[in-house]
Each structure stands twice: as structure tokens, then as C-alpha cells.
Amino acid sequence: MIAMPYRIWLIAGLLLLFRDMVTATAAVSYFGIGALIVGTLATVGIPQELELQFLVFGLSSVSMLVLFRKTEE
């Protein structure tokens, strides 16, 4: 098991959001938000297995993409 995976999720989420702020595009911000959601949940200890964390990341990223793409039109 990876030591403290919530830190990896939080750092990855912040880096992805920072990348979008620097480039002024919203290309990977959905994945950044998904990583922050998983990092926050992993801090509390809800998804303990790595496979479940990836599942939550995928579902939250895709749902953010669908939700925000429909509101931008």
C-alpha cells in the first residue's frame, strides 16, 4: 500500500488546477476537482482501497465533466 495516498491525491488535484489557471483553459480542471474530492474523502478514510479511490476519481471526474460542460453551453 502507498503511504498516505491522500497527500498524493491532494497534490495532484492542486497541480492540475494550477495548470489550468496558468494556461487559461478548462481542459483538466475536471480531473483536478476529482482528485481533490478523492483526497478529501481519503483524508477522512472513506475509500481505503486504492481501487476504490480510482473508481471514485473516475466517477467524480466524469460527473464534473458532464455537469459543467452542460452548464457552459
Domain boundaries, the chain: 5-72
CB 33 within 8 A of CB 18: no
pTM as predicted: 0.83
- Write out pLDDT tens, residues 31-50: 999 999 999 999 998 878 88
Query: Which candidate, 37, 45, 43, 24, places its Cα nearest to that of 64?
Result: 37
Burial class (CB in 10 A: 0-12, 13-18, 19+), 64: middle
- Write out pLDDT tens, residues 7-23: 999 999 999 999 988 88
